[in-house]
Structure 1
Amino acid sequence: MLTIFISVVVMYLLLLIYPPVHIITDPQEISQNISTNETLVKIIIIRDRGEDLKNLIITKYNTTYNENYWLNLSSNNTYNMSENEIISFQVTLDATNLTQGEYRGYIEINANKSMKFMGESKPKLVGQIPVVLNVAEAKGSPTEGATQKESIINVKGNITINEL
């Protein structure tokens, strides 16, 4: 019985000294279909449900190798958040100059946790939002909506294809 009591007290003290980080993002992921040369802006909301977060830094990463920067964030990417505070920021998905295909990336959320009795922690990852952008051909394109086989037929002229 004494062991259980001591364990509970130790856990309580650890939670007091090292409170958990708990953020909620809306949406939790981004998956969009757009046409080439289109741009889409999404609003991301973050709610801090745990301890105060200092120097919350939001960073984007394009994981699909591409020279074009199709995933962009609004200008202010550093925040301080109190418990139950809500912040929002813009994410721009820009298919300008992108070719048809799938592009992947993610938005990383790092922060220093404000800890009682010990000041601030080192920055650590507190959240991540995966991003998938599916780019289709521009509307009105001669091959819009065509399969690869149909596109080849359109390009090469009249060809008879016998299905097996």
Structure 2
Amino acid sequence: MAIAATESQYVTFSLENECFAVPVEVVREILDHEDPFRIPHGPSYLLGLRDVRGHGVPVIDLRLRLGMSRTEKTPHTRILVIDVPIDGRSLSLGLVADRVFEVTSFRHDAIEAAPDIGIRWPSDYIAGVVRRTEGFVVIVNLAKLFSGTDVRSLGSVAASSLEHA
């Protein structure tokens, strides 16, 4: 079944009791959680590096990046390996999610603008919100979330750590 041009597909996942989504086209794969190789002196949300098909991928605790509590590993914890377009190149990152739900389609006209008040995260990090019967789905603005200087340096941390391994 072809998706109409009025819809886009997203991967939905949970952090704490909230439902989030990222565009399906940025998700390379979904992996079981394994503890990454620790990197000293990184930002608090950088859990370390994980080998993904021969490449060092920085693993991010997305809950910490959004100002939430640290992720507690469970049998449902997954890592979404994503490719984020930043400054004309692609940065591969592993995002820790409490649980991955599904790939789903959202109609473009059902995506509301990010609210400026009443949310726990900076609205710049939110590309939009979709209302569902069971609550809201927050679509993460990956370009804004990972556009800071500290995050851009993660790509070089991964490369230099692999060279010295």
Q: TM-score range by the shorter chain?
A: under 0.3
Query: TM-score, structure 1 length as denominator?
Result: 0.22
Query: TM-score, structure 2 length as denominator?
Result: 0.22
Higher fraction of helix? 2
Question: Which of 1 and 2 has greater Rg?
Answer: 1
